[in-house]
């Protein structure tokens, strides 16, 4: 069966079969969301390990649903800053610039891909991180849910700064910094060319004044491809 699948999908690298899920169980990654008796029972949680040149596990990622998969392009962007044809969009708003890049420009439904967000803030200005008081607006990226099933973002820790004129201590970003994110496309999306829409929300301030919060819409082209057919 594995050979037929490899031939059908023109896979050129060796594939190994874990009969009885012995290795899967030893690693503790048996997918417990699949009930016994189901045709897919015995499969692992989908995921990957990133190994260093010395054989050390640098990172691991596992997902709860067997229908959801991470991509190699996600690993390239998240850990090495490289993309596999992923499109970018640059948002410019007065003293703030943000460049959003997808790890890949081609995905299948229910596939997880990475997002890199590079911020550049003009000297003398800052934007806010978390945790933040309600009277200010924290920096936030959100994709529209028409194509995206789930999304999550990792921002670096903001720097706490004392603002004596305000009598407050607030978490801020200044200069340049990078955030990363992960999005999973919805299952059942028809193949075709789409625009992945989203918004960037932030509030820029100086030591003396704060501008009104901004919420800026953006779009990034993305190609949804058909999922590979099962081998007969």
Q: How confident is the model at residue 69 (pLDDT cuts 50, 70, 90)?
A: low
Is residue 54 a part of any domain in this protein?
no
What is the mean pLDDT of the segment spanning 110-138? Answer: 92
Q: What is the pLDDT of residue 71?
A: 65
- Please tell me the total count of domains within the chain: 1
Q: What is the pLDDT of residue 72?
A: 67
Q: Has residue 216 got a pLDDT over 60?
A: yes
Beta strands in the chain (DSSP E): 47-51, 57-62, 69-70, 88-93, 96-102, 106-107, 111-121, 127-128, 140-143, 148-154, 159-163, 168-173, 176-185, 192-202, 214-224
Q: What is the pLDDT of residue 11?
A: 84
Is residue 73 a part of any domain in this protein?
yes
pTM of the shown model: 0.73
Q: What is the pLDDT of the chain when averaged over all its residues?
A: 87
What is the residue range of 193's domain?
Answer: 67-224
Q: Could you tell me the CATH number of the domain that includes residue 74?
A: 2.60.40.1250
Q: Has residue 110 got a pLDDT over 90?
A: no
Is residue 75 a part of any domain in this protein?
yes
CA 81 – CA 6 distance, rounded (Å): 30
Is residue 128 a part of any domain in this protein?
yes
Q: What is the pLDDT of residue 96?
A: 96
Is residue 102 a part of any domain in this protein?
yes
């Amino acid at each position: 069966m594995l050979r037929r699948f490899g031939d059908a999908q023109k896979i050129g690298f060796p594939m190994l079969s874990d009969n009885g899920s012995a290795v899967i169980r030893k690693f503790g990654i048996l997918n417990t969301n699949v009930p016994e008796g189901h045709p897919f029972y015995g499969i692992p949680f989908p995921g990957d390990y990133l190994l260093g040149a010395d054989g050390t596990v640098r990172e691991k990622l596992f997902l709860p649903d067997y229908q959801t998969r991470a991509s190699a392009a996600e690993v390239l962007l998240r850990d090495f800053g490289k993309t596999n044809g992923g499109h970018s969009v640059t948002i410019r708003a007065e003293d703030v610039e943000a460049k959003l890049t997808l790890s890949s420009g081609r995905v299948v439904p229910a596939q997880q891909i990475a997002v890199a967000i590079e911020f550049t803030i003009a000297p003398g200005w800052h934007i806010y991180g978390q945790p933040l008081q309600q009277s200010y607006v924290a920096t936030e990226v959100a994709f529209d849910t028409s194509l995206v099933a789930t999304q999550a973002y990792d921002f670096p820790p903001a720097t706490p700064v004392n603002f004596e004129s305000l009598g407050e201590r607030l978490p801020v970003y200044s200069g340049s910094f990078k955030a990363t994110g992960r999005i999973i496309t919805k299952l059942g999306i028809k193949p075709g060319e789409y625009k992945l829409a989203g918004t960037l929300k932030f509030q820029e301030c100086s030591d003396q004044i704060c501008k009104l919060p901004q919420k800026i819409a953006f779009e990034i082209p993305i190609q949804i491809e058909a999922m590979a057919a099962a081998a007969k």
